[in-house]
Amino acid sequence: MLLPLPAALDTQTTLVPTGAVTTAPYLDQRQPIGKRVEDLLRRMTLDDKIGQMTQAERGAMAPDPSQVASLRLGSVLSGGGSVPTPNTPAAWVAMVNQFQAYALSTPLKIPMIYGIDAVHGHGNVYGATVFPHNVGLGASRDPDLVERVYRATAAEVRATGIPWDFAPCVCVSRDERWGRAYESFAEDPSLVIRLETAIDGLQDGGVLATVKHYAGDGDTEYGSAAGDYTIDQGITVTSRADFARIDLAPYSAAIRKHDAGSVMPSFSSVDWTEDGVGNPTKMHASRELIAGTLKRDLGFDGLVISDWEGIHQIPDPSAPPGTPLPTATQVRVGVNAGIDMFMEPNTAARFEEVLRGEVASGGVPLSRIDDAVRRILRTKFELGLFEHPYASAANAGQVGSAAHRAVAREAVAESQVLLKNAGRALPLRKSAKIYVAGRNADDIGNQAGGWTIDWQGRSGAAIPGTTILQAIRQVAPQATFSVDGTAPTGGADVGVVVVGETPYAEGFGDVGGPSCGWCTPPQAEPKSLTLQPGDRAVVDRVCAAVPTCVVLLVSGRPQVITDQLGEIDALVASWLPGSEGSGVADVLFGKRPFTGRLPVSWPATVDQVPINVGDPNYQPLFPYGWGLRTGGRGSGLDGLRDAAQARVISGHGGLTWRSDLAEADRAQTSGDNLRAYRLLRKVIAG
């Protein structure tokens, strides 16, 4: 993995240490990286090595940034919502460079690497371009677009001095009740693999990618999680064969095809059916899957970074459920499992102390320490951090640039999935008298979702950008708006109702899980797969009052709306589009065609969940791959799919049309065009 040096680096700032080490081979960029790594490694003390394996959070370091030097830290990160003041690109660069200066004040002057979760654009930074979350990109089915989205993300991340992104999530989400479902591209591994061009976008842009969460985090069983969570961080109960086919497949492609530079283990556990269910192993403790499958079998030569305090969830198998192991045992198990760097946001000093003790006692062999540090140093050499450790504020204009917002607008348009279009309700006429309603029509925070400024996201004016209402009014200035739909419709030709979810992240989005009382504003409504009563009322109210009713669902996952479908003329899955609401207006008014297709199965009832393509008795409301097209029929297999969907809408298609359409989509994604053709012809024949 050799990453290009991007323009966002200050190429005038070169590390030239003083003293006797100036002629050391590790400082000579003409030398092969392997030689540089070995030369530096032999000069390092145990404290140097353990420091390189440690990552701390900026908030813990900010009161005394000299800790970066005293702890010999290999890395610093920003957690979700952890930002400098003011939250500007220049302030980010200054902060990162300050931490870097302390790292370079150590005897060997090893640069630290800064990391961040930029999962749908550089969402921590005010004014950054906020792209659709991955579920929306999955609906686009466009690998080139996904690569450009992540290339733009890399440019904005690098412009703030950061060379490491904890993205993309390549999980296969198999249960929509999961609070991280929107971070997944799809429920089928073939589509996730197809969109792993995200890795190329980041790494070709000079940012180290992190594929996560290894592995099975999207395949956990509902009710298996600890604490208040219901599914996030739970247990994947599966055979090794199914795990390899569904959950591991994206990692194999990420490593062998895209050369992903880092991997993050999942908080979740795996429980092998062939070993007897009831003996789950935390991924952070799985030597079989990290040292064995990942490093030995897949040949992964990058670094493995733990998740946030991930090793501290490793339980004591001999104690009551949820009882953690002693800290020393957790550290020993995690290091020996194959984790190379440890995200210890607030306890870096304690982690280093414990690891020193484990090495001294022989619990962790020095060879394992050296292997971890080799991987970390190699990554830093490949990123060019030894030659160019500091960032420049000169590239602040990359953040939220017009060019990046244009890419985001395109991504939003391609992500929209037209689920129903009775009487050709869409596209809208610009001259139509339009009545807009719904709480998500003019709320850019809801439109962006979680991982936006704050970890959990926030409703309201969270970021600059264009709401869906503003975008509609840019095309049709005469459009009126009533958030709850109680204002008179005034003889409107069409109603556009925009409803759905409010922001959440991780386990706080689990259906039946906890609400975030400390969020701003506090999360009040319970998370579910059905619309909230107020949203349902707006749909009923507006659809009863206008000749044509269009409903847009702004959400991170399907919303069960079967009982209201009859009153809706056009239904659109808008997902979480981000800052560029104009992309929604582009398809509503026909500037661009609807081309998006479902990356997940849309359940008819809550009781159907989990439901996935390939399941027996597959009867969702809308199958995987469903998506109506406007602007004319597509060509080739896309055109045949259009014909098959039209056949179904007309009342034909046979008893198995849902599974046939879904399997055709999966076959096409996997490259089996002949099977896709045969299945689509079967639907058309009815």
Q: Which residues are catalytic?
A: 307, 506
Q: Which single residue is written with the structure tokens 């003329």?
A: 569
d(CA 316, CA 333): 11
In DSSP terms, 530 is beta-bridged to 560
Q: Which single residue is written with the structure tokens 């946001």?
A: 345
d(CA 627, CA 235): 33
Q: How far is CA 231 from CA 226, 227, 512, 513, in A?
A: 8, 10, 9, 8
Structure tokens belonging to residue 684: 């058309």
Spatial contact of 131 and 576, defined as CB atoms under 8 Å apart: no
Structure tokens belonging to residue 67: 């800790």
DSSP for 113-158, written as a single string:
EEEE--SSBSTTSTT--BPPPHHHHHHHT-HHHHHHHHHHHHHHHH
Q: Which single residue is written with the structure tokens 């904890």?
A: 166
Alpha-helical regions (H) of 179-281: 189-194, 197-204, 240-242, 249-256
Report the phi/psi class of residue 192: left, alpha or beta, with left for phi > 0 and alpha for psi in -120 to 50: alpha
Spatial contact of 124 and 118, defined as CB atoms under 8 Å apart: yes
d(CA 579, CA 123): 10
Q: How far is CA 243 from CA 135, 215, 303, 505, in A?
A: 21, 9, 22, 25
Angle at 265 between CA 330 and CA 176, to 5 degrees: 125
